[in-house]
A and B are shown apart, each in its own frame.
Chain A
């Protein structure tokens, strides 16, 4: 029996005043790879935002890693995010620093002190995503796929218990999408839990896994036909 890392019970999610999702019941266990699919505007991003504390949870019960989303205080949000790794569609790298500095910033921000350890960790995560030799470059000098790899490396820095990927392949061409997907699959095999929002059905077919669907204000599990 694996332990749930994410547990939502009767959660309603609002964007402003309008209801986006209601009565959401989701459970994700350690080591899972879960897709979250749905058309744009069905609440995938709002769902993700609620999980990393960018939208407050006002209705229902939610537990993620060791935090209770319902009682989450503003000052706890940074500490919640340190236990999650978030990967965005638009990468969100710091454009004015090199890849290495991007990663070092996160380490410094999350309380790492030892220079040698920090450099070693940066090298470690970069080699995991196959970007070990590109650390000196600025984000704008990298291709989209490379930037996304760096973003994934950044998400891995603090050994997160759950990686939230919000359409990580949304800005990438099919070939690069598959490369990024391979990286995520690899990470998942090493024991990291991943929740990935996407509308790229080709990927679902190629890498089938547990899938949640957002539609008409509901989130429900869909069963994929194999073969």
Chain B
């Protein structure tokens, strides 16, 4: 009879811990996904920024040595991601494909110029940098003209700023929700033990002594919750990477590991602080106030 009673009691206890663990796990999981988004938002915006092309048009008179030298110096520059020499024949070929008709048929000759397409590293794709780079290239006398889409660059940078701002705001809100949700679960768990806490105080236990097992238990729940969240994140990451390999989600393993570590630590810190505050609250109450 009593063993049945104990079984029911234990099941009840386990299910109440289960909800705490689950809420920790879910919240951390969402936070982790958001973290992944933040990490990869940079990557995605970098990806777009690096599509911006600066085209250096070369004069007909440019010697091959000069061109080679320019290519070399560009390739060495720290702001350049890649360069590509496009001869005017290639450009004509490209245009032909694009338009579906050969314009040389009615122009009679190839009016295009030899050019070098420069892709910049994402961090250098700003108006100021582009201007400087263009100036530097134009100063060479075999360079005819340098073109790039300044409006596009400005628009892109502005949007990236806007989007990062909102992602940050949302992350902040999520973190707040995480803290509040975990905090309230833990508060309830501690609240249910408030008379036990008082009794412990009555027999001469110090606050610190009473608090320690509570904190330790919550941190353990936090660790389990965080571990579940990490497993979930791992599964999502694995599947996303399989479905969209071009996003290169795992290209920087250090960042992924860091994100996992941050989520795990958050799980511990939030449960720690919440339990500390919740137990402290009941430790500081006088016995009569417990009944409210």
Contact = CB atoms under 8 A, between A and B. Distances in A.
Contact of A94 (B196, B204, B207, B209): B196
Nearest to B9: A96
Contacts of A110: 203-205
B287 A154 contact: no
Contact of A109 (B2, B195, B206, B286): B206
B2 A141 contact: yes
Interface in B269-292: 286-287
B204 A54 contact: no
A28 interface: no
A92 B206 contact: no
A86 B200 CA distance: 12
Nearest to A137: B2
A93 interface: yes
A78 B202 CA distance: 8
Majority secondary structure, B binding face: helix
Interface string B180-221: 000000000000000110111111111101100000000000
B205 A78 contact: yes
* Among B2, B199, B201: residue with most chain A CB under 10 A: B199
A94 B199 contact: yes
A79 B207 CA distance: 11
B7 to A, nearest CB: 14
Given A54-B287, A55-B286, A96-B196, A109 B209 contact: yes
A105 B200 contact: yes
A95 B199 CA distance: 10
* Among A55, A86, A105, A108: residue with most chain B CB under 10 A: A105
A35 interface: no
A92 B202 contact: yes
Contacts of A109: 200, 203-206, 209-210
A137 to B, nearest CB: 10
18 contacts: A52-B202, A54-B202, A75-B206, A78-B204, A78-B205, A78-B206, A79-B204, A80-B204, A81-B202, A92-B195, A92-B202, A93-B199, A94-B199, A105-B205, A106-B205, A109-B205, A109-B206, A110-B203
Interface of B: 2, 195-196, 198-207, 209-210, 286-287
Nearest first, the 8 closest Cβ-Cβ pairs linking A and B are: A109-B205, A82-B204, A81-B204, A92-B199, A78-B206, A106-B203, A78-B204, A109-B209
